């Protein structure tokens, strides 16, 4: 049996007619760049996240970047984040002219280790960006407590955590702003590139809305130098439809994660992901930790099972960030995780049979490689 890592076709087939009709409507009204379809999605997405406002943007990277710009982060500043993330989190910081400063992650949740946060703060620190990696919200209470004491804004990188919760509050509603990606493979994915920022702060909302539209407050009146970061009308229309199915998709992901957990619980060679207490994990990625990960991924692929790695190199060891001078050993947990992470197939439309096949083959590969 073939098990793909992701199957977007299976997600879109049942929605094809509804989405096609919505795209036709965008074509009929020519609302292609920003406009009414984006506004309609924003109106639904903000309350879904438990936030007052949502601003549709070109992608998640832009959401992070504009959040930082709107908060006044610039040259010479430092912004704290984690090395276990997609490159975009750090890129957004660099694109403001600021320097990314990393804090290692927790061994169990793979999110920012709040115990190490305070010592990374300097007089240059201007913001903190915890990353809700794989769909689990970082331990926000202690992070927010440190941030409050140092009067620093917390921007959530919720690009992998649509609908995830922390003590009953949704990802994106805990910090001053939440940044989302709707890259097609995300739990809420567009049919192209898209992103959003959510916030309760009306001034921040106005600032980001202005920045995404060339710094215009009024057409052709540019108050500041901004950018073109508008969401496409077609993506707004698609996302409004797909948002209605997000909860169902997240529930299925949670059910699949529980089944993987059950089937792999006694496999000593594996460390399974953990849902921390008070949190609702939405399993954008179901990552186990295992030795000889690269050999396993190859053997699984040979058996028709396609796994992933998120991410093989922590950001501080990327060639692009060599100038930071952070060598191996700087962030041992993130580095160990990068060597051991193995992402198993995870998407709502997976069948029980497919999950059983993945678990059975993985156990067998572990045995064949002599890991158990």
Ligand X SMILES: Cc1ncc(COP(=O)(O)O)c(C=O)c1O
Answer whether 54's CB lies under 8 Å from 196's CB.
yes
Show Cβ contacts of residue 68 under 8 Å, excluding neighbours closer than 6 positions: 79, 92, 93, 96, 98, 127, 155
In this complex, which beta carbon is closest to ligand X, that of residue 131 or of residue 290? 131
C-beta neighbour count of 33 within 10 angstroms: 13
In this complex, which beta carbon is closest to ligand X, that of residue 162 or of residue 240? 162
In this complex, which beta carbon is closest to ligand X, that of residue 90 or of residue 333? 90
What is the nearest approach in angstroms of ligand X to the Cβ of residue 159? 3
Helices (H), the chain: 8-12, 16-29, 36-49, 60-70, 88-95, 140-149, 202-211, 233-243, 246-264, 293-302, 332-340, 352-368
Task: Enumerate binding residues for ligand X (CB under 6 A).
Answer: 59-61, 85-86, 88-89, 131, 157, 159-160, 181, 183, 195
| DSSP single-letter state for residue 174 | S
In this complex, which beta carbon is closest to ligand X, that of residue 86 or of residue 331? 86
The Cα 311–Cα 297 span in angstroms is 14
What is the nearest approach in angstroms of ligand X to the Cβ of residue 45? 14
What is the nearest approach in angstroms of ligand X to the Cβ of residue 58? 8
What is the DSSP pairing of strand 216-218 with strand 78-81? unpaired
Residues across the chain: 372
What is the DSSP pairing of strand 216-218 with strand 221-222? antiparallel
In this complex, which beta carbon is closest to ligand X, that of residue 60 or of residue 273? 60
Residue 246, helix vs strand vs coil = helix
Phi, psi of 271 (to 5 degrees): -110, 115
Token pair for 22: 């919505």
In this complex, which beta carbon is closest to ligand X, that of residue 242 or of residue 292? 242
Show Cβ contacts of residue 158 under 8 Å, excluding neighbours closer than 6 positions: 132, 137, 164, 171, 172, 178, 179, 180
What is the nearest approach in angstroms of ligand X to the Cβ of residue 253? 16
What is the nearest approach in angstroms of ligand X to the Cβ of residue 196? 10
What is the nearest approach in angstroms of ligand X to the Cβ of residue 59? 3
What is the nearest approach in angstroms of ligand X to the Cβ of residue 178? 12
In this complex, which beta carbon is closest to ligand X, that of residue 179 or of residue 296? 179
In this complex, which beta carbon is closest to ligand X, that of residue 32 or of residue 95? 95
What is the nearest approach in angstroms of ligand X to the Cβ of residue 183? 4
The residue whose Cβ lies closest to ligand X is: 60
What is the nearest approach in angstroms of ligand X to the Cβ of residue 189? 10
What distance lies between CA 309 and its chain's CA centroid?
15
Answer whether 138's CB lies under 8 Å from 90's CB.
no
Task: State the Cα torsion 83-86-90-92 to the nearest 10°.
Answer: -160
In this complex, which beta carbon is closest to ligand X, that of residue 58 or of residue 233? 58
């Amino acid at each position: 049996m073939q098990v793909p890592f992701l199957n977007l076709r299976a997600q879109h087939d049942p929605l094809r007619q509804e989405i096609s009709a919505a795209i036709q409507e965008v074509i009929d009204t020519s609302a292609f760049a920003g406009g009414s379809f984006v506004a309609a999605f924003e109106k639904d997405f903000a309350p879904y996240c438990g936030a007052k406002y949502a601003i549709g943007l070109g992608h998640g990277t832009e959401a992070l970047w504009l959040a930082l710009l709107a908060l006044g982060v610039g040259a010479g500043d430092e912004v704290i984040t984690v090395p276990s993330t997609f490159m975009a989190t750090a890129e957004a910081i660099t694109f403001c002219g600021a320097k990314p400063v990393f804090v290692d992650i927790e061994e169990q949740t793979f999110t920012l280790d709040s115990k190490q946060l305070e010592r990374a703060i300097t007089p240059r620190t201007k913001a903190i960006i915890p990353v809700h990696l794989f769909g689990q919200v970082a331990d926000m209470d202690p992070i927010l407590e440190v941030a409050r004491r140092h009067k620093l804004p917390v921007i959530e990188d919720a690009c992998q955590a649509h609908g995830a919760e922390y003590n009953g509050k949704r990802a994106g509603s805990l910090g001053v702003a939440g940044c989302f990606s709707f890259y097609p493979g995300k739990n809420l994915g567009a049919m192209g590139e898209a992103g959003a920022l959510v916030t309760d702060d009306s001034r921040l909302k106005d600032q980001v809305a202005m920045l995404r539209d060339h710094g215009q407050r009024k057409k052709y009146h540019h108050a500041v130098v901004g950018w073109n970061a508008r969401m496409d009308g077609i993506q707004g229309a698609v996302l409004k439809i797909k948002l209605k199915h997000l909860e169902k998709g997240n529930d299925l992901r949670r059910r699949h994660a529980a089944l993987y957990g059950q089937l792999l619980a006694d496999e000593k060679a594996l460390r399974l992901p953990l849902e921390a207490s008070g949190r609702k994990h939405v399993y954008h990625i179901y990552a186990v930790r295992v030795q000889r990960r690269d050999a396993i991924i190859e053997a699984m692929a040979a058996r028709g099972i396609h796994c992933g790695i998120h991410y093989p190199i922590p950001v501080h060891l990327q060639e692009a960030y060599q100038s930071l001078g952070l060598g191996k050993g700087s962030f041992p947990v993130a580095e160990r995780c990068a060597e051991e992470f193995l992402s198993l197939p995870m998407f709502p439309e997976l069948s029980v049979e497919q999950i059983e096949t993945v678990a059975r083959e993985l156990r067998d590969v572990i045995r064949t490689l002599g890991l158990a």
